[in-house]
């Protein structure tokens, strides 16, 4: 089949796309920022097409969907900072349903949220249910798969769980730790999504999907501690912790912001257990238990094989328009006796567990301050310790420009009174030498922005000059290793 994927740059969509290609389907990935997908290993395979698409424009979206047999709708807002996120989800679903009908798409497949229906459903899960209804409103048959917590390397739920257990030997928690849950491994989610495409009995149906075990969240935390080889955590449930307070606590301890954590925390109050298991007979597969799923996710992380991460999803800002206003600049250069490929590799190792080559304690202080003021801090890390792609997070930076062996541009996402970019450019000077230019740009907002710049300028020689020297050392080391291997 020819299959469209709306949300291919997200956590689930990024894993579904290569599996559909493996199954022999053609895929059309609809993305706001196609560059986010261009570096994926599967993006250049036969049968894969990536297209810039506006999911809010019905006519252009209908043109994109024309010729597709089916379409996956994997778009969902998770930002409670905007009180209108449910309204945004509603509008996008309406446009998608109408465009699918206009284009002659035969069916839509949607991944929703598991949970009992009724007045007590969280706003987050209620929005997911509303999207289900809207997608089916134009007459195109919709297959709905409802999942609870998805356990997989890089998933938002998994990262919350892992960080809480790693960092807190004693946890004061809301009462939701006793809520029953039926988690599902991400590989089983992908198995159901791909299988549903070729099983006619799933057309127009709503199915609960879950793993092989039901247990409260506190037991899941115990299993996570065991897999991390940690002592059992002391968990003390109290009735006064609201979803809002819980979200701020999650923000301080884990990589997720409170804006994303709040909808997740709200949903934890609802029991999320499969009420029927028809899907297990229609699409049989080996369902992982909770401990097996946790073990598999941690193994992927240990081997640096994380395919997608929660931090890769969502819109990103590009380069600011630097025209007009005061722009501060810190530019430095160094000539390095190493090929451009070695220098670029060294540049692309910044952030995450490798650090920033110099004054890491200052970066950690800045990260903690950022978390306290509501920013991402340093805990997002990076998906892979060696390779980066457009749109990926590097601690509190985001990759907004990348050219192999030539350029890496990062935009600051920490809380700042202004806009900031950090750019590395490599100019070859023969086969074995090049010039590395490092430029930090900052456009202040108001007096606070000016005060911030002048306050941090004295630290630039420590941070930026040290970073440049560290990149040079790493590039020389990499170049020497390459030459030694060539001699052998």
Of 116-120, 258-262, 369-373, 393-397, least confident by mean pLDDT is 116-120
- pLDDT band of residue 315 (cuts 50, 70, 90) is low
Contacts of 483 (CB under 8 A, 6+ apart): none
Domains 2-310 and 328-487 share a fold: no
For the stretch 231-241, pLDDT in tens is 998 888 877 66
**pLDDT exceeds 60 at position 319:** no
- Distance from C-alpha of 318 to C-alpha of 309, rounded to nearest angstrom: 20
Give the Å distances, CA to CA, from 282 to 110, 140, 202, 277, 477. Answer: 17, 21, 8, 9, 55
- Distance from C-alpha of 449 to C-alpha of 445, rounded to nearest angstrom: 5
- Distance from C-alpha of 16 to C-alpha of 194, rounded to nearest angstrom: 7
**pLDDT exceeds 50 at position 156:** yes
Tokens in use for 340? 């451009």
> Domain spans of the chain?
2-310, 328-487
User: Given 3.30.1490.20, 3.30.530.20, 3.40.50.300, 3.40.50.10490, which CATH number is that of 328-487?
Assistant: 3.30.530.20
**pLDDT exceeds 80 at position 348:** yes
Of 40-44, 169-173, 349-353, 386-390, least confident by mean pLDDT is 169-173
**pLDDT exceeds 70 at position 297:** yes
pLDDT at residue 324 in the model:
58
pLDDT at residue 78 in the model:
60
pLDDT at residue 80 in the model:
47
pLDDT at residue 374 in the model:
82
Q: Is the pTM of this model over 0.85?
A: no
CATH topology for 2-310?
Rossmann fold (3.40.50)
For the stretch 49-84, pLDDT in tens is 999 999 999 999 999 999 999 999 998 866 544 457
pLDDT at residue 81 in the model:
47
């Amino acid at each position: 089949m020819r299959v469209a994927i709306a949300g291919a740059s997200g956590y689930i969509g990024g894993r579904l796309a290569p599996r559909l290609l493996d199954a022999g389907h053609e895929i059309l990935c609809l993305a706001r920022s196609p560059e986010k997908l261009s570096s994926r290993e599967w993006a250049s395979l036969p049968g894969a097409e990536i297209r810039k698409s506006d999911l809010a424009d019905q006519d252009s979206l209908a043109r994109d969907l024309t010729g597709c047999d089916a379409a996956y709708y994997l778009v969902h807002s998770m930002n409670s900072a905007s009180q209108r996120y449910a309204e945004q989800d509603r509008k996008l679903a309406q446009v998608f349903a109408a465009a699918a009908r206009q284009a002659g798409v035969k069916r839509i497949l949607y991944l929703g949220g598991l949970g009992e229906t009724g007045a007590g459903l969280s706003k987050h899960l209620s929005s997911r249910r509303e999207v289900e209804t809207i997608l089916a409103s134009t007459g195109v048959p919709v297959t709905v798969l409802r999942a609870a917590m998805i356990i997989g390397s890089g998933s938002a739920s998994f990262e919350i769980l892992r960080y809480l257990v790693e960092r807190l030997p004693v946890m004061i928690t809301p009462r939701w730790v006793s809520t029953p849950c039926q988690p599902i491994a991400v590989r089983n989610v992908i198995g159901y999504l791909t299988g549903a495409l070729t099983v006619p009995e799933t057309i127009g149906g709503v199915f609960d999907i879950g793993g092989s075990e039901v247990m409260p969240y506190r037991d899941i935390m115990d299993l996570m501690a065991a897999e991390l080889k940690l002592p059992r955590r002391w968990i003390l449930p109290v009735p006064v912790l609201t979803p809002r307070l819980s979200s701020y606590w999650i923000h301080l301890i884990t990589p997720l912001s409170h804006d994303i954590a709040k909808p997740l925390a709200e949903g934890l109050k609802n029991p999320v257990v499969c009420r029927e298991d028809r899907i297990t007979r229609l699409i049989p597969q080996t369902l992982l238990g909770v401990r097996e799923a946790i073990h598999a996710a941690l193994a992927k992380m240990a081997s640096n094989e994380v395919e997608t991460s929660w931090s890769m999803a969502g819109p990103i800002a590009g380069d600011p328009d630097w025209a007009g206003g005061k722009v501060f600049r810190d530019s430095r250069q160094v000539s390095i006796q190493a090929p451009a490929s070695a220098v670029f590799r060294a540049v692309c190792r910044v952030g995450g567990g490798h650090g920033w080559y110099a004054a890491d304690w200052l970066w950690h202080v800045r990260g903690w301050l950022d978390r306290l003021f509501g920013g991402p801090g340093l805990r997002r890390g990076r998906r892979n310790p060696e390779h980066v792609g457009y749109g990926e997070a590097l601690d509190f930076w985001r990759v907004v420009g990348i050219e192999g062996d030539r350029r890496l541009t990062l935009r600051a996402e920490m809380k700042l009174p202004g806009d900031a970019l950090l750019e590395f450019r490599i100019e070859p000077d023969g086969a074995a030498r090049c010039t590395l230019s490092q430029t930090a740009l900052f456009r202040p907002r108001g007096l606070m922005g000016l005060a911030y710049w002048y306050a941090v300028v004295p630290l630039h020689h420590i941070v930026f000059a040290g970073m440049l020297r560290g990149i040079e050392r790493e590039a020389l080391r990499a170049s020497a290793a390459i030459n030694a291997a060539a001699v052998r």
